[in-house]
Amino acid sequence: MNGKRKSYLKSWMISSPALILIGLIVVFPILYTFYISLTNMNTYHWFNYDIIGLKNYARAVTVFDSGFLEALGNTILWTAVNMAMQLVIAFVIANFLNVPGLRLRNVYKTILMFPWAMPGYVSILLWKTGMFNSQFGLLTQWMEQLSGQMIRWLQNDVSAFICCTVVNLWLALPFMIMIMDGGLKSIDRSYYESATLDGAGPIRQAVSITVPCLKPVIGPSVMITLFTTFKQFDVIYLMTQQVGAQTGAHIHTVITYAYENAFITNNYGYSSAISVMIFLMLIVFAQLTGRRKEADA
Amino acid sequence: MTARKFVRKAVKHTALNAFFIVCCFLALLPILYALSVSFDAKGSLLSSSFSFIPEEATLKHYIAVFTEEPVLQWFGNTMLLTAATVVLAMCCAVPAAYVFSRRRFPGRSTVLRSLLLLHSFPSILSMFAIYKLMSTMGMINTHIGLIVIYAGTMGVFAMLNMKGYFDAIPLEIEEAGKIDGCTDFRIVTGIVMPLARPSLIVTMVMIVNFVWNEYIFSINFLTGSDRMTLASGLYSLQATETSGSWPVFAAASLVVSFPVLVIFFLSQKYMVSGLTAGGVKG
């Protein structure tokens, strides 16, 4: 018994540096965020804040023009649009990549991986300045030559949303293409051969063979991408709302909304309440999608 | 009949290749444009006749990056932060991951389950709390503060990913070592670590990537351009709607991206095995 206890102690000892580090940097701030969310902490009440209970939560959920519900709606729209487009486009490209007899397949594949290999924030800034900037943006110049008018891409909400979606697709598609490409390779060719013999056309084959066979293979990666898209901060923040360089569009997702309330308008208590709610949503998501299965073993 | 089939096949392949050339062009578009602007001597970016190949090439924007901006200093800072974060995170996470994979003790599954939850938590949401914590400890505007934050944030990923990979190494190999008279330490360093190499590499590459690409903590926690990292420096360099030098920014972007691209394509062969076996991705 004593030996067993000693071995337990040793296990905890060896893992303690990691657990202390994670406790300090990840767990404690989350608990502390929860505590701040119950207070009215802001620039004027930096040290002398009061506990105000659940008022911050009530303000976010019940006051309609607080902006939180709008941000939540935007986030859901953003996630749905991005996921749908990613899946469809990646499916088409991956299928085309696997057409027999395509000689330059590996060249194309390597080039298509570039957006994934580039540092994300650099790509976003290059898109922002190089493509959409109202003076030297390439797309602005092209549009000007085509239609004769100057377009401020990031100025209004709808076009900024579309631009952000384009950039996000550009960033995220390589991973999805790679996953789908791997999935397609795992499907037995003989299914297609017998389907061809039975007279099924290419579309029928894609719907009845490729999609059902692909689903279990790409499932986990799609779930991860869903989470990443929901949590996406960089694209929207860097494209439209950097400090001192706001472009005029007001599209907030829940994460940029929480960030703005903490670091721009300094409503720390309110922002923390938003953060806690986002975290709870992520936990519910994670439980629903059964990611906890991975914990055993 | 065969001739017609041949023609149909040729048309199909031409169309397919055209499709992929367009796709590749789109995938490279911002990079190509930045490349062309950064080498362009004439600043034709405001003229109406624009082509991707500059009429007159120059290196002056690249020289400006290295001489007019403290890029080398930022590079040094980033290297320091990256190396220290990798060492700290790996030294903490790898032994812990090994223990959680091999031993059974009370509290183990609770910790593992919490780690999975924490892994889905974006650290930006608790950034203000981290800021307050760091300012109480006097670690705002220091590199040590950022190293601890980065190592803690990536520690969750590193532990889960390594644990998943250790799980996949059969126990029999270690038992064989034990029979041959190896000490525990020797088993871990001599047998387990070499086997876990792909996962070690991938975990380190992910940490390097994370630190290299992290800007939001460094712009909020560091002030003064001599402390900045490449990411926050580049952020401060970027051309805004009306000001700033876009050619210099383009050159700087490409300089910063280059090491990342090299690491990505070098480590690509390990990526699939090192990540999928671990069960936790990106």
pLDDT of residue A114: 87
Is A115 touching B (CB cutoff 8 A)? yes
CA distance B128 to chain A (A): 7
**Alpha helices for chain B (secondary structure H):** 2-39, 60-68, 71-102, 108-119, 127-136, 143-167, 171-179, 184-186, 193-195, 197-213, 216-221, 230-237, 246-276
Query: Which residues of B fall within a CB distance of 8 Å from A170?
Result: 26-27, 30
Cα separation of A95 and A88, whole Å?
11
- The CATH number assigned to the domain with range A68-251 reads 1.10.3720.10
Tokens representing residue B273 in the block: 């095995």
Q: Which of B109, B213, B253 sits opposite A295 (nearest CB)?
A: B109
B178 Cβ contact list (under 8 Å, min separation 6): B187
Residue A291 pLDDT > 60, yes or no?
A: no
Expressed in angstroms, the distance from the first to the final Cα of chain B is 51
Mean pLDDT of B192-203: 86
Same domain, B260 and B202: yes
Q: Which of B28, B126, B213 sits opposite A29 (nearest CB)?
A: B126
Cα separation of B154 and B192, whole Å?
22
pLDDT of residue B45: 53
Cα separation of B245 and B238, whole Å?
8
Cα separation of A256 and A275, whole Å?
10
Same domain, B270 and B175: yes
pLDDT of residue B276: 56
Same domain, B37 and B101: no
**Banded model confidence at residue B84, pLDDT cuts 50, 70, 90:** very high
Mean pLDDT of A122-145: 80
Query: Which residues of B fall within a CB distance of 8 Å from A271?
Result: 128
B282 and A224: CB-CB below 8 Å?
A: yes
Same domain, B94 and B190: yes
Tokens representing residue A21 in the block: 């580090």
pLDDT of residue B149: 94
Task: Tell me what the pLDDT averaged over chain B comes to.
Answer: 83
Same domain, B49 and B149: no
Residue contacts between A and B (CB atoms, under 8 Å): 250
Please say whether the beta carbons of B194 and B172 come within 8 A.
no
SS3 A10: helix
Mean pLDDT of B105-126: 88
Q: Which of B16, B123, B127 sits opposite A262 (nearest CB)?
A: B127
Same domain, B272 and B231: yes
Residue A239 pLDDT > 90, yes or no?
A: no
Same domain, B82 and B52: no
Residue A184 pLDDT > 90, yes or no?
A: no
Mean pLDDT of A111-132: 86
**pTM higher than 0.90 for the full model?**
no
Instruction: Name the range with the highest mean pLDDT among A58-67, A198-207, B121-130.
Output: B121-130
Same domain, B7 and B31: yes
Same domain, B222 and B92: yes
Distances (CA, A) of B13 to A101, A203, B269: 8, 18, 29
CA distance A279 to chain B (A): 6
The residue with greater pLDDT, A232 or B268, is A232
The residue with greater pLDDT, B276 or A145, is A145
Please say whether the beta carbons of A153 and A132 come within 8 A.
yes
Is A283 touching B (CB cutoff 8 A)? yes
pLDDT of residue B282: 39
Tokens representing residue A202 in the block: 């290419």
Distances (CA, A) of B139 to A53, A129, A227, B40, B73: 30, 34, 31, 43, 21
- Tens digits of residue pLDDT in A244-261: 666 767 788 888 888 888
Mean pLDDT of B249-274: 80
Q: What is the ipTM of this complex?
A: 0.83
Tokens representing residue B272 in the block: 């699939």
Expressed in angstroms, the distance from the first to the final Cα of chain A is 25
SS3 B70: coil
Identify whether B79 is part of a domain. yes
Among B38, B58, B78, the domain boundary falls at B58
Residues 245-274 in A contacting B (C-alpha not used; CB under 8 Å): 245, 247, 255, 258-259, 262-263, 268, 271-272
Q: Which of A32, A135, A233 sits opposite B124 (nearest CB)?
A: A233
Mean pLDDT of A105-126: 87
B155 and A231: CB-CB below 8 Å?
A: no
Chain centre distance of CA A41: 29
Q: Which of A26, A104, A130 sits opposite B250 (nearest CB)?
A: A130
pLDDT of residue B90: 94
Q: How many CB atoms within 10 Å of residue A30?
A: 20
Chain centre distance of CA A259: 15
Residue B48 pLDDT > 50, yes or no?
A: no
Cα separation of A247 and A33, whole Å?
30
H or E element that contains A11:
helix A2-22
- Nearest residue of A to residue B280 by CA position? A294
**Locate tokens 């986990």: which residue?**
A220
Task: Tell me what the pLDDT averaged over chain A comes to.
Answer: 83
Backbone angles phi, psi at A45, to 5 degrees: -115, 70
Residue B189 pLDDT > 60, yes or no?
A: yes
Residue A290 pLDDT > 80, yes or no?
A: no
Cα separation of A166 and A161, whole Å?
9
Residue B49 pLDDT > 90, yes or no?
A: no
**Alpha helices for A186-267 (secondary structure H):** 189-197, 202-205, 211-230, 234-240, 254-263
Query: Which residues of B fall within a CB distance of 8 Å from A228?
Result: 282
**Banded model confidence at residue B199, pLDDT cuts 50, 70, 90:** confident
Cα separation of A131 and B37, whole Å?
12
pLDDT of residue B264: 82
Q: Which of A8, A16, A26 to mutate to test the interface with B (most CBs of B within 10 A)?
A: A26
B151 and A25: CB-CB below 8 Å?
A: yes
Please say whether the beta carbons of B168 and B279 come within 8 A.
no
Q: For chain A, what are the domain ranges?
A: 25-66+268-291, 68-251
Burial of A36 from C-beta contacts in 10 A (0-12 / 13-18 / 19+): buried
Mean pLDDT of B193-221: 87
- The sign of the CA dihedral B68, B71, B77, B80 is negative
Same domain, B54 and B67: no
The residue with greater pLDDT, B214 or A293, is B214
Cα separation of B209 and B263, whole Å?
9
Same domain, B123 and B213: yes
Residue B48 belongs to domain spanning: 2-58
Q: Which of A16, A25, A133 sits opposite B152 (nearest CB)?
A: A25
Identify whether B222 is part of a domain. yes
**Number of structural domains found in chain B:** 2
Q: What is the CATH number of the domain that holds B99?
A: 1.10.3720.10
Same domain, B108 and B139: yes
pLDDT of residue A224: 82
Mean pLDDT of B57-86: 85
Range with the poorest average pLDDT among A286-295, B8-17, B102-111, B151-160: A286-295
Residue A292 pLDDT > 50, yes or no?
A: no
The residue with greater pLDDT, B11 or A136, is B11
B149 and A25: CB-CB below 8 Å?
A: yes
pLDDT of residue B241: 54
Cα separation of A159 and A154, whole Å?
6
**Banded model confidence at residue A180, pLDDT cuts 50, 70, 90:** confident
